[in-house]
Amino acid sequence: MRIVLLGPPGVGKGSLASLCEARTGLAHLSTGEIFRQEIARHSALGRRVRAFVTSGRLVPDALVVRVMAGRLGARAGTGVKGFVLDGFPRTEGQARGLDRLLKRLGRPLEGAVELWAPRTVLIRRLSGRRVCPRCGANYHLVTMRPRRKGRCDRCRERLVVRKDDRPEMIRKRLAIHEQAAAPLLAYYRRDGRLCRVDGSGSLEAVFARTMRALRRKGWTAPQND
């Protein structure tokens, strides 16, 4: 199965995609995570995207699609199950680019899951989020605490606040999302490839709702990539 997760910052795309990977074997790919790793490595790509990522602006479509073409192309034919993409596509242009790319690879997308939650929930989640700068693991001050206060469970690194999770940046990112969301959702809705899932409540509850929604759509059969 090949699906994408859509929805505003803070709705839980990353957490849900990680759980899908752990429970179903679908590979989780996150453009935000790829960019943060490249920035940390000071690679050429990292230098190109740094200003966009740290200010919450969108990286230009052509560059994002090129990066994903490289990652998905490298995976094709490796025999692993499908994928769940998180944070990509974010615009209608990227969605069209992804469809063109997957058509070339002969691996079309089943569809898109739109996670939604009230704005107050999004702001609460983003402002309480803490991340590990080394492995990218996500935590929350209230709902997903690390075992040892302020330290990553996996690598013991000190947890930090993402630069783009600061209050003024949160408002800006939500506004940027709202601008691009309507045409993106309409693109998938037009041909029946969109399903909506309530992203509020616990991660387990959201996972169960998502699996039910996927089954209703008939998208659950894992296929080789």
Among 5, 53, 132, 137, binds ligand AMP (CB under 6 A): 53
| Whether residue 13 lies in the annotated active site | yes
Q: How many of the other CB atoms lie within 10 Å of CB of 166?
A: 14
In the shown chain, the binding pattern of residues 118 to 157 toward ligand AMP, with x for contact by CB under 6 A and - for none, equals ----------------------------------------
Instruction: Pick the closer one to ligand AMP by CB: 160 or 208.
Output: 160
CB of 92 to ligand AMP, least distance (A): 12
Site for ligand AMP in 165-194 (CB under 6 A): 173
Q: What is the 3-state secondary structure (H, E, C) of the chain?
A: CEEEEECCCCCCHHHHHHHHHHHHCCEEEEHHHHHHHHHHHCCHHHHHHHHHHHHCCCCCHHHHHHHHHHHHHHHCCCCCCCEEEECCCCCHHHHHHHHHHHHHHCCCCCEEEEEECCHHHHHHHHHHEEECCCCCCEEECCCECCCCCCECCCCCCECECCHHHCHHHHHHHHHHHHHHHHHHHHHHHHCCCEEEEECCCCHHHHHHHHHHHHHHHCCCCCCCC
Residues 58-77 that bind ligand AMP (CB under 6 A): 58-59, 64
Q: How far is the CB of 189 from ligand AMP (least distance, A)?
A: 19
User: Which one among 15, 18, 94, 210 touches ligand AMP, defined by CB under 6 A?
Assistant: 94
Return d(Cα 57, Cα 118) in angstroms, integer. Answer: 22
- List beta partners, residue 194: 112
**Nearest residue (CB) to ligand AMP, 12 versus 87:** 87
**Smallest distance, Å, CB 156 to ligand AMP?**
23
Query: Which of 107, 130, 173, 193 is an active site residue?
Result: 173
Structure tokens at 156: 């013991």
173 has catalytic annotation: yes
Among the listed residues 129, 130, 193, 209, the single catalytic one is: 129
Report if residue 83 touches ligand AMP, rule: CB under 6 A: no
Residue number with CB closer to ligand AMP (76 or 169): 169
Residues in contact with ligand AMP, shown as a per-residue x/- string from 4 to 43 under the rule CB under 6 A:
-----x---------------------xx--x--------
Instruction: List CB contacts of 66: < 8 A, sequence separation 6 or more.
Output: none
Interacting residue ranges for ligand AMP, rule: CB under 6 A? 9, 31-32, 35, 52-53, 56-59, 64, 87-90, 94, 164, 173
- Active-site positions? 13, 90, 129, 162, 173
